[in-house]
Structures are given as structure tokens and as C-alpha cells.
């Protein structure tokens, strides 16, 4: 009996302890449901929804390495650039609400400036759009418009030859029809002595594979204007032709501006015409050839000049370029460019200019994403 009582008592004690432990056990909470990233196909490839919102986000950019040479300076240089593009889009009752931010940094080593070995990042572009309204910092309408398609920039090369590339703080409006487009913007030129902005505009139409357009700009600081007419057309299944003509009534941001070889300042030609033809030899290989002739650069330099409409320098210039681009694999670009430029003699910035020529080249490796 004593043994039986002892066994029963032990069993009861164990049961009590186990019962208490069961009562005190911690029950793990159910895991929160995971919201996986959803693809957003409303605005094209690469967009995804920001979790918990109806805003679509896209990331893109590149890593680029350039080797350049210049016969006039008898030198070569290298540059590495990293770029990150961030886009956010969503649909509203007033049209698409779009924001674009471009962050990029360059590294161009200079033996005499050790700080150049660590390039800093900058906000290269930041703008927003709602329907046709656009505001922020990006290329001026003289260069391109967001609704202009193939009506922007210069030739098929990386630099595009001389077409007056510029960016500015701006506010404007884009109008788009069935096969036509128009845009006008007010641009801050940095002249704090006046309240007036520079005004630029662009208008054009698309007819099959052909885009015809005109652009103009008024430079309120110099009180001069520039205009250009352009054509971008497909030729057959593999060719593309760009032609642009420029006129400026004096030194202005809105012209086919160039820096004469050996000169320290940039000047505007009265007239200029450029043309470029590109051929797609294979799906992953293309090449182009382009040229430009500019007539009678204005004597005064662009920066800080008073209004001048007639002081000509007598300096003309011409340039020719060749470009080959190969994509050995998707998203990897191998580019080679060579350019020859020649300026005649004359008078620039009030001093005698003996003219000059230069051969420049570029070899590039670029990984896009």
C-alpha cells in the first residue's frame, strides 16, 4: 500500500506540474501577412507599386567609363560616371502625376587636384509633371520637350555636335494632339538683376516615320533670340536622318553655340546647319556619320555680354564625326567616336583669333540597367 500510495502521489504531482506549465505556455502569434511587390504595367516596363500605395516606381541608370583624347591639347583623359534615375507615377483625375529625379556623379582624376579622385554626386535633374504642366530642373524646351519624341537634341553622337544644350529651373506646359505637339516654358537664366525669365518653345508634328519641328528662345539678358528648324526621319527599315538649321540674331543661349579651338569662351554663330545619318547594320550594331557648318560667329562671348546684334567676327567652322556602337550583350554598350573640327581666323571677344583645328575621340563602356 505504501508503494502504491507513493506512486499515485508522484503521478498526481507530475500531473499538477504539467498542468501548470501548460497553463503558463506562451503561444506564438501568427505571422503578419507579407505584401509582395506588385508589377505595375500601366506605365510601361520596369514599374512596380510602392507597397501600400497606388504609386508606381521605376529605377534605372548606368555605369559609364570613358577614355578621351584631344590632338589640340596633345592629351588624353578618363572619366567614370554613375547615374541613378528614379521615377514615380500615378493616375489622377487631372492626368498622370509624374516625378523624375536623376542623381549622378563623375570621377575625372587630376594629378594637381587630389580631391578630384573622389567624385561627388549631384542632382542632375529633378522635375514633376501633372497632365501637361511641368515644373522643376531639366533640359530647356530649346533642347527637347517631354512630348516631342524625336524632335530633341543634336546628332546621333554622344555630344550631338553644337546645338546649344542647356538645363534650367523652369515651369511650362506641354500640349499634345493626335500627331502634333507644342510646348512653352519660362526658364530661369540666373540673371538676378531682372525679374524676366527666358522664354523657349517648341512645336512639331509626326507623319509616319517623319518628325518635323521648330524651336525658338528669347534670351532676356542679352535681348537676343534664336530659332531652329529640324527634321528627323526614318529611311527604310534601318536608317535614320537628322537635319537641323539654326539662326541667332546675336550672342544667346539659344543658338548652335561652340567653343572655338584654342579659345577660352563660347560663341554663337549667326547661321548653322547640322546633319547626321545613322544605320542599323544588325540588331546589336549601328553606326553614324554627321557634320556641321557654322557661319560667322558673333564677336562677343556668351557670358556677361551686353546686347549685340551686328558685331560679327568673320570666324566660320566646320566639323565631321563618325560613330560606331556595339551591344555584345543586352544592356552593355561599347561606343567609339572620332571628330574633326576646324575654325577659321578672325576676331573673337575683341582680339585677333588665328583659328585652329582639333581631332577628338571617345571610347566608352557603359552598363545600363
Mean pLDDT score, 91-97: 96
> At 118, is the pLDDT very low, low, confident or very high (cuts 50, 70, 90)?
confident
> At 34, is the pLDDT very low, low, confident or very high (cuts 50, 70, 90)?
low
Cβ atoms < 10 Å from Cβ of 361: 17
The gap from C-alpha 256 to its chain's centroid, in whole angstroms, comes to 19
> At 6, is the pLDDT very low, low, confident or very high (cuts 50, 70, 90)?
very low
Q: What is the spatial distance between Cα 168 and Cα 188, in angstroms, rounded to a whole number?
A: 6
> At 272, is the pLDDT very low, low, confident or very high (cuts 50, 70, 90)?
very high
pLDDT score, position 296: 96
Tens digits of residue pLDDT in 172-205: 999 999 999 999 999 999 888 888 999 999 999 9
pLDDT score, position 304: 55
pLDDT score, position 349: 84
Q: What is the spatial distance between Cα 158 and Cα 335, in angstroms, rounded to a whole number?
A: 9
Mean pLDDT score, 104-111: 87
DSSP 51-100: TTSS-EEEEEEEEEEEEEEETTTTEEEEEEEEEEEEEEEEEETTEEEEEE
Does position 366 have pLDDT exceeding 80, yes or no?
yes
pLDDT score, position 15: 43
Is residue 102 a contact partner of residue 146, using CB atoms and an 8 Å limit? no
Residue 163, burial from CB neighbour count under 10 angstroms (0-12, 13-18, 19+): buried
Does position 14 have pLDDT exceeding 50, yes or no?
no
> At 41, is the pLDDT very low, low, confident or very high (cuts 50, 70, 90)?
very high
Which residues make Cβ contacts (< 8 Å) with residue 254, sequence separation at least 6? Answer: 142, 164, 198, 200, 216, 217, 218, 219, 225, 226, 227, 248
Between the alpha carbon of residue 39 and those of residues 34, 42, 55, 57, 212, the distances in Å are: 16, 9, 11, 10, 36
Nearest to 274 by CA among 161, 142, 361, 140: 161
Residue recorded with cell 575621340: 361
DSSP 112-128: TBGGGGSPPEEEEEEEE
Domain ranges of the chain: 132-368
CATH class of 132-368: mainly beta
Question: In this structure, is the dihedral angle defined by the CA atoms of residues 46, 127, 140 and 335, taken in order, positive or negative?
Answer: negative
Tens digits of residue pLDDT in 231-247: 999 999 999 999 999 99
Tens digits of residue pLDDT in 211-268: 999 999 999 988 899 999 999 999 999 999 999 999 999 999 999 999 999 998 999 9
Does position 24 have pLDDT exceeding 70, yes or no?
no
- pTM attached to this predicted model: 0.87
Question: Helix or strand or coil: residue 331?
Answer: coil
> At 25, is the pLDDT very low, low, confident or very high (cuts 50, 70, 90)?
low
Instruction: List the end-to-end C-alpha distance of the chain, in Å, as a whole number.
Output: 85
- In what helix (H) or strand (E) does residue 12 lie, and over which residues does it extend? helix 2-24
pLDDT score, position 333: 98
pLDDT score, position 1: 45
Does position 26 have pLDDT exceeding 70, yes or no?
no
Average pLDDT, the chain: 90
Does position 167 have pLDDT exceeding 80, yes or no?
yes
All three cell numbers of 323, joined, read 560613330
Tens digits of residue pLDDT in 305-322: 555 555 789 999 999 999
pLDDT score, position 269: 96
DSSP 235-288: ETTTEEEEEEEEEESSS-SSS--B--TT-SS-B-EEEEEEEEEEEEEETTEEEE
Please indicate whether residue 350 or residue 36 has the higher confidence score (pLDDT): 350
pLDDT score, position 37: 81
Is residue 145 a contact partner of residue 180, using CB atoms and an 8 Å limit? no
Between the alpha carbon of residue 309 and those of residues 135, 204, 256, 267, 298, the distances in Å are: 32, 28, 16, 13, 8
Amino acid at each position: 500500500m505504501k508503494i502504491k500510495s507513493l506512486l499515485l502521489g508522484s503521478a498526481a504531482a507530475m500531473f499538477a506540474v504539467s498542468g501548470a506549465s501548460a497553463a503558463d505556455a506562451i503561444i506564438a502569434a501568427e505571422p503578419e501577412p507579407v505584401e509582395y511587390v506588385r508589377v505595375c504595367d500601366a506605365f510601361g516596363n520596369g514599374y512596380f507599386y510602392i507597397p501600400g500605395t497606388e504609386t508606381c516606381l521605376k529605377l534605372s541608370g548606368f555605369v559609364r567609363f570613358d577614355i578621351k583624347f584631344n590632338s589640340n591639347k596633345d592629351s588624353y583623359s578618363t572619366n567614370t560616371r554613375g547615374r541613378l534615375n528614379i521615377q514615380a507615377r500615378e493616375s489622377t483625375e487631372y492626368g498622370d502625376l509624374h516625378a523624375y529625379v536623376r542623381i549622378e556623379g563623375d570621377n575625372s582624376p587630376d594629378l594637381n587636384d587630389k580631391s578630384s579622385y573622389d567624385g561627388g554626386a549631384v542632382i542632375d535633374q529633378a522635375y514633376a509633371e501633372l497632365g501637361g504642366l511641368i515644373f522643376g530642373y531639366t533640359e530647356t524646351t530649346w533642347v527637347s520637350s517631354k512630348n516631342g519624341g524625336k524632335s530633341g537634341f543634336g546628332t546621333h553622337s554622344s555630344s550631338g555636335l553644337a546645338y546649344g544644350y542647356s538645363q534650367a529651373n523652369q515651369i511650362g506646359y506641354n500640349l499634345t494632339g493626335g500627331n502634333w505637339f507644342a510646348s512653352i516654358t519660362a526658364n530661369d537664366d540666373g540673371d538676378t538683376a531682372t525679374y524676366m525669365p527666358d522664354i523657349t518653345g517648341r512645336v512639331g508634328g509626326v507623319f509616319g516615320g517623319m518628325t518635323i519641328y521648330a524651336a525658338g528662345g528669347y534670351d532676356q539678358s542679352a535681348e537676343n533670340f534664336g530659332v531652329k528648324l529640324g527634321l528627323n526621319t526614318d529611311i527604310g527599315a534601318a536608317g535614320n536622318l537628322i537635319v537641323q538649321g539654326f539662326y541667332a540674331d546675336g550672342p544667346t543661349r539659344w543658338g548652335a553655340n561652340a567653343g572655338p579651338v584654342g579659345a577660352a569662351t563660347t560663341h554663337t554663330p549667326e547661321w548653322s546647319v547640322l546633319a547626321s545619318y545613322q544605320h542599323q547594320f544588325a540588331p546589336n550594331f549601328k553606326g553614324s556619320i554627321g557634320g556641321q557648318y557654322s557661319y560667322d560667329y558673333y564677336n562677343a562671348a556668351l557670358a556677361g555680354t551686353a546686347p549685340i546684334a551686328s558685331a560679327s567676327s568673320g570666324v566660320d567652322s566646320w566639323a565631321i564625326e563618325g560613330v560606331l556602337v556595339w551591344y555584345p550583350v543586352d544592356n552593355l554598350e561599347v561606343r567609339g567616336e572620332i571628330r574633326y573640327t576646324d575654325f577659321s581666323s578672325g576676331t573673337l571677344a575683341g582680339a585677333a583669333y588665328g583659328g585652329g583645328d582639333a581631332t577628338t575621340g571617345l571610347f566608352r563602356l557603359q552598363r545600363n540597367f
